[in-house]
A and B are shown apart, each in its own frame.
Chain A
Amino acid sequence: MRPFEYARAGEASEAVSLGGRFIAGGTNLLDLMKLQVETPDKLVDITRLPMRDIEATDDGGLRIGALVTNSDLAADKRVRDDYPVLSRALLAGASGQLRNKATTGGNLLQRTRCGYFYETSQPCNKREPGSGCGAIGGFNRIHAILGTSDKCIATHPSDMAVAMQALEASVETLKADGSTRTIPLIEFHRLPGDTPEIETVLEKGELITAVRLPKSLGGTQIYRKVRDRASYAFALVSVAAIVKMKGGEIEWARLAFGGLAHKPWRDTAVEDVLKGQAPSRALFDRAADALLAEAKGHGENDFKIPLARRTLVSVLAEATQGA
C-alpha cells in the first residue's frame, strides 16, 4: 500500500473539494490498495457525511443515502415489503461482516474479481491500459459472455446493482464544481470496449450521494444467484426478475443479470419477448434465445451460456407460477 494523505470530510461539498479518492466502507478499495492494484495518493474519508438515511420520495419511491450499509438497506422494512428483489440480492452477497461495512455507493463501484486484474504482474488492460488481457486464453471460469471486447472479459461482481438495474434505479451525484446530476443506472456502468479501465460514467471527483428507486410496481420479485459455494461466493450467473401478470399473461417483465457482463446486464429485447404473452416453456426459451443471441464463451466459462439459459427459464417459470 502506497503512502497516502488522509483527510476526513464533514460535508459533501467539502468531500468533493478536497480532491482525492473517496473511502467509505473500504471493503474493496483497501483490498485492492493492499495489493497496489489501486494506488491513490489521497483518501477522503466520507463516512461522517450525512448520507445514511433511507427516505420516501414524493413520487412514492425511495431515496437511499450513498452511505447506507448493505445490511441496513436489506433489512429496511420498506425495501423488504416493496423491493424484495433488492433485499434478496443484498443478502445473497458477501458475508454479514462485509454487508455491515459495505455501502450503497461503494457497492456500485466494486471492481472486478478477475484474477489477472488482482495479480499486478499479469497483463490487464483494466489495471494497466494497453498491457493486454491475461484472462483471454487463461483461466476465465468467472468471466463474461456478453458485451465483452478483445480488451477485457471481466464481470461486475455486484448483486445489489443487478437488482437495482431491474428496479430501474438512478444514481444521484455531486460533482467537484458543486453541480448535481441524476444518472439512470442503466447508463451508469460501461461496457469494456477499448477502455476497460473506465467502468462508469462518473467524472473525476464526482461523488455518489444517493440511489433513487422509483415507486414499486409490485409484481413477483425473484433474485436467483448461482455460485460455486452455498454462500460467500461471487455469482457465476444471477437473475433479478420482476414479473407482473395480468389475466394469465405476462403484462410486463423486467430482468437483469449478474455474472454475465462487465456491468449489471439488462436487455429490454428479452423483456419484449415476454410482454403480453402467456407463460410457457417455449416462450421462456425464446426469451433466453434473445438474451444469449450474442453470447460468447472463452473456454472455461462456456458453461455460463447453458447455465444462464436454464436459470432464466427456471426463474421465469417460478415468477409466472399459478398464473
Chain B
Amino acid sequence: MITLTINGEEHRLDVDPRTSLLDACRDHLGLTGSKKGCDHGQCGACTMLVNGRRINSCLTLAVMHEGDEITTVEGLGEPGNLHPMQAAFLEHDGFQCGYCTPGQVVSAVGMLGEVADGWPSNASKDLQNGAELSGEEIRERMSGNLCRCSAYPNIVDAIETAAKTTKEPA
C-alpha cells in the first residue's frame, strides 16, 4: 500500500511495483488525462509535474513517488475554470486530435518554470544569463513533446500568450 499525493489529494493504493506512475493514474485512480503515447519516454504525452518539475510519468515507478507532489493536467484546470495555459491552447488551436495535448500543456507549464529559474537551453546563445522566451527557445524546450497532428506553430503561439498572462506558472 502506498500513498501518492496528486493534485493536492492523497490517494492510497495497492500497486504492483512494476506499475508506472502513468499507469497508476490511468488504470487505478481514474486520472486518465495524462496520455500513454509510447510508454518509453519518446513522445511526452504522459508529462506530469513532480515537485514542480516536468517528467515522463511512463518512465518512473509509482512506488518511487511516495511523498512527492504530483500534478497532472486535471490538476491545472477544468472546463469552465481553465488554467491560463489551457485557455491559451484553446484560443490558439494548439491541438487537433487532443491526445498529446495534456502532455504539451503540462510540459509548457513546467518549461515556463524552468525559464523563470534561469535555466538555459540548447537554443540559448548565452549560457550565463537567463534566456528570453523566443519562439526558438520554446521550440527547443518543447521538443520532447511530439504532436503528430502537427499543431506546433499554434502551440508556440499559445505558450507565448500564456507566458504573458501568467507570472506564477505552476
**B119 and A26 contact, CB distance less than 8 A:** no
**B61 and A94 contact, CB distance less than 8 A:** no
A36 to chain B, nearest CB (A): 12
Using CB atoms, name the residue of chain A closest to B66.
A8
Across the interface, which residues of A come within 8 angstroms of B110, CB to CB?
Answer: 96-97, 100
Across the interface, which residues of B come within 8 angstroms of A43, CB to CB?
Answer: 17
Across the interface, which residues of A come within 8 angstroms of B140, CB to CB?
Answer: 231
Spell out A's residues near B (CB within 8 Å). Answer: 1, 3-6, 8, 23, 25-27, 30-31, 34, 43, 45, 47, 71, 74-75, 80-81, 84, 87-88, 91-92, 94-98, 100-101, 229-232
**A94 and B144 contact, CB distance less than 8 A:** yes
Across the interface, which residues of B come within 8 angstroms of A27, CB to CB?
Answer: 41, 56, 59
Whether B134 sits at the interface, judged by CB under 8 Å, is no
B15 to chain A, nearest CB (A): 10
**A96 and B122 contact, CB distance less than 8 A:** no
Q: Which of B107, B118, B120, B121 contacts A97 (CB 8 A)?
A: B107
Across the interface, which residues of A come within 8 angstroms of B142, CB to CB?
Answer: 96
A299 to B120, CA, bound (A): 38
Query: A71-B53, A96-B144, A100-B54 are known contacts; what are 14 more A-B pairs with Cβ within 8 Å?
Result: A5-B17, A26-B61, A27-B56, A27-B59, A30-B61, A74-B119, A80-B120, A81-B128, A95-B143, A96-B114, A98-B144, A101-B59, A231-B122, A232-B144
Using CB atoms, name the residue of chain A closest to B52.
A100
Please, what's the 1-or-0 string for B138-170, where 1 marks a CB less than 8 Å from any CB in chain A?
011111110000000000000000000000000
Number of B residues near A (Cβ < 8 Å) is 37
Using CB atoms, name the residue of chain B closest to A4.
B17
**B127 and A95 contact, CB distance less than 8 A:** no
Q: Which of B55, B111, B127, B143 contacts A231 (CB 8 A)?
A: B143
**A97 and B47 contact, CB distance less than 8 A:** yes
Using CB atoms, name the residue of chain A closest to B127.
A80
Q: Which of B56, B107, B118, B122 contacts A75 (CB 8 A)?
A: B118
Grouping DSSP codes into helix (H, G, I), strand (E, B) and loop, the B interface class, with mixed when no group exceeds half, is loop
**A30 and B60 contact, CB distance less than 8 A:** yes
Q: Which of B59, B122, B145 contacts A26 (CB 8 A)?
A: B59
User: With contacts A30-B20, A84-B127 known, is A96 near B141, CB below 8 A?
Assistant: yes
A44 to B142, CA, bound (A): 32
Using CB atoms, name the residue of chain A closest to B48.
A97
User: With contacts A71-B119, A231-B143 known, is A97 near B56, CB below 8 A?
Assistant: yes
Whether B39 sits at the interface, judged by CB under 8 Å, is yes
Spell out B's residues near A (CB within 8 Å). Answer: 17-18, 20, 39-41, 44, 47, 53-56, 59-61, 63-64, 107, 110-111, 114, 117-122, 124, 127-128, 139-145
B165 to chain A, nearest CB (A): 21
A5 to B17, CA, bound (A): 8
**A34 and B60 contact, CB distance less than 8 A:** no
B20 to chain A, nearest CB (A): 7
A34 to B19, CA, bound (A): 11
A45 to B67, CA, bound (A): 14
A113 to chain B, nearest CB (A): 11
A1 to B119, CA, bound (A): 35
**B122 and A88 contact, CB distance less than 8 A:** yes
**B143 and A98 contact, CB distance less than 8 A:** no
**A3 and B18 contact, CB distance less than 8 A:** yes
Closest 6 CB pairs of A and B: A95-B144, A231-B143, A6-B17, A91-B122, A75-B119, A232-B143
B131 to chain A, nearest CB (A): 11
**B53 and A100 contact, CB distance less than 8 A:** yes
